[in-house]
């Protein structure tokens, strides 16, 4: 992998893609949903988390993150790590912790409204069922 990416320009979007791909291996399973890679630009890995305390604690692990990426992708791939606080697109919910997190609502646990039985088109019925279950699960 290292030899393959040595000749790429530092602005290549493939570098950001590789940083995304290896992120779970670098950060670990417990933090992969709480911190995400924003971009790789000029050898700087930009990561984002919604929790300011986590962002502060992550600064102490910059060197370890760079070392893991350098071991996976080569010496000059990641030269620095910048941590920002902002919205994460993955499933991290900063209002709940592991102890208070509610169990997800399963689709088969939800009673469907009686009106759904009146839909005769099977594709439309399935689409409405998915939408209804997704909406109820977010409540």
Domain definitions of the chain by residue range: 2-85, 107-138
pTM here? 0.57
Measured CA to CA in angstroms, residue 9 lies from 16, 27, 36, 41 at distances of 12, 25, 23, 11
**Euclidean distance between CA atoms 133 and 117, whole angstroms:** 15
pLDDT in tens, 81-121: 999 999 888 654 444 444 444 555 454 555 677 777 777 88
Which phi and psi angles does 80 have, rounded to 5°? -160, 160
Top-level class of domain 2-85: alpha beta
The predicted pLDDT at position 18 comes to 84
Cα 74 off chain centre by: 23
């Amino acid at each position: 992998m290292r030899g393959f990416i040595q000749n790429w320009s530092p602005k290549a979007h493939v570098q950001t893609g590789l940083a995304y791909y290896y992120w779970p291996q670098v950060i670990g399973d417990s933090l992969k949903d709480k911190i995400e890679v924003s971009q790789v630009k000029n050898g700087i890995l930009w990561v984002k988390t919604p929790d300011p305390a986590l962002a502060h604690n992550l600064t102490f692990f910059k060197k370890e993150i760079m070392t893991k990426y350098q071991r996976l992708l080569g010496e000059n791939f990641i030269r620095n790590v910048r941590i920002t606080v902002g919205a994460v697109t993955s499933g991290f919910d900063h209002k709940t912790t592991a102890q208070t997190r509610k169990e997800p609502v399963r689709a088969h646990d939800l009673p469907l409204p009686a009106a759904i039985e009146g839909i005769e088109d099977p594709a439309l019925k399935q689409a409405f069922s998915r939408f209804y279950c997704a909406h109820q699960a977010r409540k």
